[in-house]
Amino acid sequence: MQTKAYAAYDSTEPLKSFNFERRDLKATDVHIDIAYCGVCHSDIHMAHNDWGMTVYPMVPGHEIIGRVKQVGTEVTNFKVGELVGVGCMVDSCRQCQPCKDHLEQHCEKGMTMTYGSPDAHMPGSFTQGGYSSQIVVDKDFVLKVSEKLDIKALAPLLCAGITTYSPLRQWNIKAGDKVGVIGLGGLGHMGVKFAAAMGAHLVMNTTSPAKGEDAKRLGAAEVLVSSDEKQMQAQAGSFDFLLDTIPVAHSFDPYIPLLKFGKTLATVGATPSDMHTMGLVFGRKIITGSLIGGIKETQEMLDFCAEHNIVSDVELINIQDINQAYERVMKSDVKYRFVIDMQSLQQA
Ligand code: NAP
Ligand code: ZN
Ligand code: ZN
């Protein structure tokens, strides 16, 4: 089916209008009219080919909210008109151990990413994401979302939400734990909300002192400015967990001393990093990574959001404003996630 979109055509040009063919509906597919799509920093990394894997033209977008337009003959759990979400992946092998363990993002054959993966349904082409009017997705990779929450503010839950919820759950964050979120952007602001909702004492670790008040409104108990060495020293050895969302190359060295003995820093940024291992060795500390979350856990996160009334703080834009939004995200000037109103694609 003919689909309107915005795409990156190469690593340096601004995103521009693009038309392409989506696959026809199969028996197990859900056809979704896209209402909103969040703008993740990963979209920018991919558009700019920061990870060296981009095939152009590439339609970014993996924080998708929309309504079911049509379902395949074998789909019983979704109805036409229902509000649904699609996140960072649209398929996996479903046979390997990680897939059986509901960790499809770690599929041994490689998950099919929502955009930028070879498309098994259209050999020779690549999947295309949510900066588009519609998408066709296998029912097992479609999420149910609450109609009670602000619909446009739900979109970022599909990536920023699950990517911060999952490590907080994996590292068993509980009431009273002292947790630091590093970087108050799209992921960071969701990390603050989740950690606070889990009862943690949340410390916002930021390079932008001006974001301090917002951090407290979002749920932070304290604000720690990472460039202020005195402040950093005063908090040394006091954290149970750190979640690092910095999107650019950086050293872990300033952050490791903040952890208590034996505690963990989880990073979600796929960036070059260096560090002195001394701080790890002496404190038996752990640095780990985390990659989105499985479909089952994503549904659990969405249900947690409905229960705790959690959505993203968003700035709504038209698709025609996407390139300025990218510029602002790269300057850390985002409060705290851009979401595209996909109706704007219909404008000339
Ligand atoms: P974002 O909205 O741009 O937020 C990142 C924040 O990091 C900024 O707002 C800024 O916060 C801080 N920051 C920026 N440059 C910095 C620097 N040089 N030093 C220290 N702090 C800096 O980005 P995002 O969408 O949250 O994504 C964050 C990263 O996670 C990206 O690399 C993205 O690709 C990655 N990601 C990973 C996964 C996964 O599954 N692992 C999923 C989604 C995204 P302050 O102003 O508060 O300092
Ligand atoms: Zn993302
Ligand atoms: Zn698999």
Q: What is the pLDDT of residues 15-55, one digit of tens each?
A: 999 999 999 999 999 999 999 999 999 999 999 999 999 99
Judge if 88 and 8 occupy the same domain: yes
Judge if 284 and 201 occupy the same domain: yes
Q: How far is the CA of 270 from the centre of ligand 1 (A)?
A: 10
* Mean pLDDT in residue range 219-229: 98
Q: Is 306 part of any domain?
A: no
Q: For a pocket test of ligand 1, which of 37, 48, 53, 207 has the largest count of ligand atoms closer than 8 A to its C-beta? A: 207
d(CA 87, CA 130): 9
Please provide the average confidence, as pLDDT, over all residues in the chain. Answer: 97
Would you say the CB of residue 41 lies under 6 angstroms from ligand 1? yes
β 259-267/239-244 pair status? parallel
* pLDDT(3) > 80: yes
* pLDDT(274) > 90: no
Judge if 265 and 319 occupy the same domain: no
Judge if 93 and 109 occupy the same domain: yes
Q: What is the pLDDT of residues 67-124, one digit of tens each?
A: 999 999 999 999 999 999 999 999 999 999 999 999 999 999 999 999 999 999 999 9
Looking at residue 198, its pLDDT comes to 98
143 pLDDT band (50/70/90 cuts)? very high
Would you say the CB of residue 312 lies under 6 angstroms from ligand 1? no
289 within 8 A of 283, measured Cβ to Cβ:
no
Question: Looking at ligand 1, which residue's alpha carbon is closest to its atom 35?
Answer: 269
CA distances from 57 to 9, 223, 301, 321, 324 (A): 4, 41, 32, 19, 19
d(CA 269, CA 10): 22
β 178-182/112-113 pair status? unpaired
Q: Which CATH number goes with the domain that contains 247?
A: 3.40.50.720
Judge if 191 and 250 occupy the same domain: yes
Q: Is 79 part of any domain?
A: yes
**H or E element in which residue 188 lies:** helix 186-197
Judge if 154 and 172 occupy the same domain: no
Peptide bond into 336 cis (omega under 30): yes
What is the residue range of 11's domain? 2-159+313-347
Judge if 38 and 172 occupy the same domain: no
Q: Is 302 part of any domain?
A: no
Q: What is the pLDDT of residues 184-195, one digit of tens each?
A: 999 999 999 999
CA distances from 277 to 144, 162, 182, 205, 236 (A): 43, 30, 20, 22, 17
The encoded tokens of residue 139 equal 């029912």
Tally of structural domains, the chain: 2
Judge if 115 and 169 occupy the same domain: no
Looking at residue 348, its pLDDT comes to 59
Q: Is 208 part of any domain?
A: yes
Amino acid making up residue 182: I
Would you say the CB of residue 208 lies under 6 angstroms from ligand 1? yes
Q: Using a pLDDT cut of 70, give the percent of the chain over it.
A: 100
Q: How far is the CA of 135 from the centre of ligand 1 (A)?
A: 27
Q: Is 324 part of any domain?
A: yes
275 pLDDT band (50/70/90 cuts)? confident
d(CA 83, CA 32): 9
Judge if 121 and 197 occupy the same domain: no
Judge if 40 and 139 occupy the same domain: yes
Q: What is the pLDDT of residues 225-269, one digit of tens each?
A: 999 999 999 999 999 999 999 999 999 999 999 999 999 999 999
Q: How far is the CA of 42 from the centre of ligand 3 (A)?
A: 23
Q: Is 121 part of any domain?
A: yes
Judge if 129 and 180 occupy the same domain: no
Q: Is 95 part of any domain?
A: yes
Would you say the CB of residue 96 lies under 6 angstroms from ligand 1? no
Judge if 29 and 113 occupy the same domain: yes
Q: pTM score, two decimals?
A: 0.98
Q: Is 106 part of any domain?
A: yes
Q: Which CATH number goes with the domain that contains 101?
A: 3.90.180.10
What number of other Cβ atoms are within 10 A of residue 135's Cβ?
A: 30
